[in-house]
Amino acid sequence: MEKVTSFWERFVQFITFINLPIRKKFLLFEMGTFFWFCVIGIVSVGSLSFIHFRYAQIVHVNLPYIKALQTIHPELVVMDRTIALREEGTHCTQTLFALKTSLAHMKNAFSEALVSLQKQPSSGNIFEMVLTSLSKDDNENFNTLQEINKDIIALEELVLLGQKNSTGTSDEHSREFWKKIEMRVKKTHEKTVSFSKVVEERYHYYSTQVNNIIRISINSIAIVILLSVTLLMFFTRWLREAFSRPIESMIHQIHSIGTGEVDLSKKLKIKSKDEIGTLSKEFNKLVDTVYGVTVFKKVIEEDTSLETVYTRLGEVFEKEAGIKHYRIFDVNAAKGTMSVVYPYVSDESDFLSCNEEILHSCSLCRAQKTGHKVSSFEYEGVCKEFMKEEGKKHVCIPLIVSGHAGAVVQFVFEKVHSAEELEHINEKIFKAESYIKNSLSVIETKRLMNTLRESSLVDGLTGLYNRRFLQDHSNQIIASTLRRKKQISLLMCDMDYFKQVNDKFGHDVGDSVLKETSHILKKCVREADIVIRFGGEEFLILLIDTEVDYGMSVAEKIRLAVEEYSFKTTDGILKKTISMGVSDFPNDTDGFWQAIKFADVALYKAKEMGRNRCIRFSSDYWDQKANF
């Protein structure tokens, strides 16, 4: 039984090409598919050609006959009735005129029919033109139509003769004349009726044939398609065993790896000896390798901050790659600096293996500058900023995000004594690089989110925080101030007669004045203080943790700095002044936004008193404002 089963398995593998190379499989499959398409095409084209042939006969032959007969038959009936009325006393001239009119209608109908029958096809491809030409080969009916046309012409000549001789003829001649006309009309009528039956029979014959061939074509094509689909399904089912199913399993495993839900116990089944079988073996090995990296990526994608991602990256360096000494530096390209983000240290200079200057100027870092991996294993002393320690080696790997090094990972190793140790270190670095490469997209996304969030809180012209920053962070600022039992001095600043600058020098100069003013404001306050562009030429300064009268002293300092500053324009030097209102939170009010309003009221008072001055808020100003 086993031998029989084995024989049939080999036979099935033989007829389904399972162990053939993929190129030959597709070649044989292509030939089979081409054969069945040819069969379907021959049946379809043959049946449609016959239908087209009969359709052309109906449209280009029968329809002109039918159209002509539909016009002739009623006219002959009218002529019979006209002649009968004439015998009852209708005037001869009127009767002849009516007959002539009917004959003219019949001649026109015949002319149109003859032109349509003799007209050659002028459109379509050659195949269609040949079929149309063959469909017009109907000499017998065409001759019959011409005979009827000759009878009508003869009848017309007789009527014309009657019109010429309508006067001066005897009654006997008149009776003979009308008898001839009547006999010829009847004879023509009989031919027309007989020809109508022939045309109608031919029309029904063609219609029946068209219906039959359509039915036969549909059944034939359906049978061929059913047979071909059945055979193709039979063969593709066996091909799928060696081709489709391994690919589907690979896709499923790849998707599972991407979602971190891969089941390593479910290996790909190898059922063929072709390229797919080889690929399945290699893929099973690959799954084992990338599983850990994939799960790691899934975890960091769900982390909320970039700092957490760096932390997890450092943890896998230790646990998975087995690297103990490392540093992760985050690069701030806008400021040209870099900082240690993991492991966290209180005093970075005490733990760095590099010159501390790289923290203040990231371009000194060779890996950050070049965007390439830097290794002292490959070239001793490759980076001048690395502090040479006896037996220490380093490998620095840049994390390229958005086209530049967004971070740098530095690994430090002890001195190696053999090629085996070096190979072991290379394996660790390779594994660490695998985690780094898979984390790049996540790091780039997190950095982009941080950048977008920061850009939405910064004024594009001056680089200062905008009002949205104050709205988002006011609660945090207030809570921190109240917790420390300190106060905030609020300085509302407004450039004097700033509209005149835009009107006289243009908005470019106005923007330049605002930029330079923002620089003055930042220089006059501490690093911990917050300068905000509140709107237009209006600025708000939050002096954090201040004492009484500190706000007025800073405001006066700013006023003098602006007054003494020379703004350069294309027309020369421009001198400007600034007015300021000062209030304290929570000394003046326990409402933060109310304190901002008080500073604005004090600014209004400074403007009212002549500008270029600093006014401390007083409750009297608020009463006056309310009364106003």
Q: Which residues form the catalytic set? A: 537
Query: N- to C-terminal Cα distance for the chain?
Result: 110
Q: Is 528 exposed, middle or buried (0-12, 13-18, 19+ CB in 10 A)?
A: exposed
Which of 593, 586, 489, 470 lies closest to 545 in space, CA to CA? 489
Helix-, strand-, coil-residue percentages of the chain, each rounded to 5: 65, 15, 20
- DSSP assignment of 327-377 equals EEEEEETTTTEEEEEES--SSGGGT-SB-GGGGT-GGGSHHHHH-S-EETT
**Which H/E stretch holds residue 491?**
strand 487-495
Q: What is the dihedral of CA 199, 205, 210, 212, to 10 degrees?
A: 170
- By the 8 A CB rule, do 77 and 255 touch? no
Helices (H), 488-549: 498-505, 507-523
Cβ–Cβ contacts within 10 Å for residue 628, how many? 6
Which of 142, 138, 165 lies closest to 57 in space, CA to CA? 138
Identity at 496, one-letter amino acid code: D
The CA radius of gyration of the chain, in Å to the nearest whole number, is 51
Which of 258, 320, 244, 322 lies closest to 287 in space, CA to CA? 258
